[in-house]
Structure 1
């Protein structure tokens, strides 16, 4: 076999290195000084700016801290990392609605493309209108009503006849058409016609063409405002005729034309690319999680063990709060958020920020509209110490109420449930005499136990009644309300009663003997007569 020889370049490099070391007078085995080649410590951990946190976690470190001690559970997922099926069914689309199609037609088309059962929109647009339409998918449909009541912004094109020479009159008329206005329905409305009160926040003239006698203005108004009626009112203010030519919605709620607006073709292409190539990126780009609609709500972050109770409608107590935002007022709509950034529910605040900071216990908020699906997080109320003991002893059912295994002494306690507390509120404490009699009834159910408590109880006021009670001859359970007599008096009465019993027995025996003798004599006489 031929020996492998190293490359000539490598040998030349080794020779040069040895020559340098010999010139410097350093042997290969001696330690060398590092000099500038020392590895200096660097910052391994770089803290990320909280302004870059996604959605509801933005500025998390700047919120007020109520408690930092909580146990995180391995349930739930951040909104942006949900599985694609769940992501689509809990998101929304900022759609550019095409003209000459109704809002209902657009919604039904999206439902068939994405194969989602529940789809809703943020507000009806007339067929001749185009622009921003928030389409909510799946569980995001819960937020449709809040989006329908959000403010809107439009750009409208109008025409005037006859011509108006002074443009300042138009700007002044638009300035007067702000505030609360009466509005009637147009000739062919998309909803039920009725007289409304709607507020216009602001209107300004953008362009006006004197040759065509047409102009364009921008208006910000309350939901449900008729832009065509507003154009007619503009003509009445100017003393001429006015008519709406075209209108487009440029903002719905907090989302406008520049906020990831898509068209119908984008939705179709995204679904087709996912079905063909399993590429989720296009779908995740056009669909946003529902938490993006709540970024302007005041936030309260809650503990994980409180989440499922809130999903079942339980009020939020102060003990379940982790962090809360500044500016919370009473009776204000807020959003309850998990530590992963998931929206749990829209709630009504019962405490302001200052009250939450100063109080130690109480109800902070009541859920108004639950967003998260139930049992996404485990039930915490089933794993409490008392609940687990009841389960092991089988003295309570799955609803933590009494069952056939529940002992009678527990039925009287004020621990089981509200019904037991209500029933036990009017029951007086038992005395020692009645408690001993009830110890034998532990196996009875609740209904029998209640009936036994309703038996007639008589008061012992006379010595005879007391004597009968002590001797055990009483037919009804009695309860002594007066002060008890001394032991000597009771013993004397008992002795008297026993003597009377002995005397009665003797008398009874004598009477029985007499009766027997009489019977014998009668029988003898009868036999004699029979023989005769």
Structure 2
């Protein structure tokens, strides 16, 4: 049976979308896919509808790199609202508990180091984590008390910085760099509790995902205004997502042997993940290197570069 041809263009690369508040990540992907007439598109890490900021969207073969980008570090700036904890840990939920205590700036700065490094974090009630195969938010919406069943998970926060503290306005502004699976809403809840207060998340913006930052970002309005040729100029190369991974060139013969399942030896002392390119600098594969031996992890070659 003949394979059905995909509609659209076989375009490969990344659009770094500056997603607006109110839009889901899936809606952002659909809009970009339509505007660029792309055959295939997907996002590298969900960004809540209530948040705005960086949403990397992979096109074509770039979607093969989603696992690496999803696991990359992320940077957020956010507003913490003091005085009330809510069912959703953000401004959309119902108030559960209140507190009149707003800590002094010195108190807040003093507690921040406790939340840096590998910490245990209980996910929010309204989150996508699963409890017996069902999403936590589905059980929470049904009125089930699930707090005791939300098991704390280890997450990593690389840095946490206070930008501004405004007690009169009952808000604080912070910046955080964190690893995969960290909930900003849960961090805000736990920060407030650590200071014998209550709080919830207000504004949230994601400012970086791995190597992608606001400098490369483009809004949907800007994409809509551009003509088709200009839209393509916003597409970044597929390997931009691997900017932090060491790269090495291989010959066509080495590439062929690797892509047919053989282990090859590389002239490097580097250990771990590496990007291999052919002599024309086209991406060939991601490999794991140990003791100079390279094992294929992900084939990135186009049919042309496999020859």
**Is TM (by shorter chain) over 0.5?**
yes
Separation of aligned partners in 2, 1:165 and 1:266 = 42
Q: Which residue of 2 aligns with 1:211?
A: 168
Residue 316 of structure 1: which of 240, 245, 264 is its match?
A: 264
Q: How far 1:266 moved relative to its partner?
A: 2.5
**SS, match of residue 62 in structure 2:** helix
**SS, match of residue 169 in structure 2:** coil
Separation of aligned partners in 1, 2:281 and 2:35 = 29
Residue 241 of structure 2: which of 270, 293, 299 is its match?
A: 293
Separation of aligned partners in 1, 2:305 and 2:294 = 21
For structure 2, the 5+ residue unaligned runs are: 1-8, 84-99, 131-135, 137-149
Separation of aligned partners in 2, 1:128 and 1:163 = 27
Separation of aligned partners in 1, 2:262 and 2:55 = 34
Q: Which residue of 1 aligns with 2:43?
A: 121
Residue 202 of structure 1: which of 159, 163, 177 is its match?
A: 159
Q: Is the 8 A contact 1:153 1:218 kept in 2?
A: yes
2:241 aligned with 1:303:
no
Residue 123 of structure 2: which of 164, 169, 185 is its match?
A: 185
Q: Which residue of 1 aligns with 2:86?
A: none
Separation of aligned partners in 2, 1:177 and 1:343 = 39
Q: Is the 8 A contact 2:19 2:52 kept in 1?
A: yes
Identify the structure with the greater strand proportion: 2
Q: How far 1:315 moved relative to its partner?
A: 2.4
Q: Is the 8 A contact 2:211 2:240 kept in 1?
A: no
Q: Is the 8 A contact 1:130 1:248 kept in 2?
A: yes
Q: Is the 8 A contact 1:91 1:137 kept in 2?
A: yes
**SS, match of residue 39 in structure 2:** coil
Q: How far 1:165 moved relative to its partner?
A: 5.0
Q: How does 1:352-363 map to 2 (within 5 A)?
A: 352=292
Q: Which residue of 2 aligns with 1:372?
A: 301
Separation of aligned partners in 2, 1:165 and 1:112 = 48
Q: How far 1:231 moved relative to its partner?
A: 0.4
Separation of aligned partners in 2, 1:256 and 1:349 = 29
Q: Is the 8 A contact 1:312 1:374 kept in 2?
A: no
Q: How far 1:375 moved relative to its partner?
A: 5.2
Q: Which residue of 2 aligns with 1:477?
A: none
Q: How far 1:304 moved relative to its partner?
A: 2.1
Distance 1:268 1:172, change over 3 A: same
1:248-278, CA deviations, whole angstroms, 9 ceiling, x for partnerless residues? 11110111112x11011233334xx23xxxx
Q: How does 1:34-73 map to 2 (within 5 A)?
A: none
**SS, match of residue 111 in structure 1:** helix
How many residues matched?
264
Of structures 1 and 2, the one scoring higher in RCO (CA 8 A, sep 6+) is 2
Separation of aligned partners in 2, 1:224 and 1:215 = 23
Q: How far 1:191 moved relative to its partner?
A: 5.2
Separation of aligned partners in 2, 1:163 and 1:240 = 6
**SS, match of residue 117 in structure 1:** coil
Q: Is the 8 A contact 1:175 1:204 kept in 2?
A: no
Bigger shift: residues 260-269 or 190-199: 190-199
Max radius of gyration: which structure?
Answer: 1
**SS, match of residue 248 in structure 2:** strand
Q: Which residue of 1 aligns with 2:61?
A: 139
Q: Which residue of 2 aligns with 1:268?
A: 224
Separation of aligned partners in 1, 2:265 and 2:103 = 65
2:201 aligned with 1:244:
yes
For structure 1, the 5+ residue unaligned runs are: 1-84, 275-279, 319-323, 353-363, 379-532
Separation of aligned partners in 2, 1:269 and 1:300 = 39
Q: How does 1:336-355 map to 2 (within 5 A)?
A: 336-352=276-292
Separation of aligned partners in 2, 1:158 and 1:238 = 13
Distance 1:369 1:165, change over 3 A: closer
Q: How far 1:183 moved relative to its partner?
A: 2.0
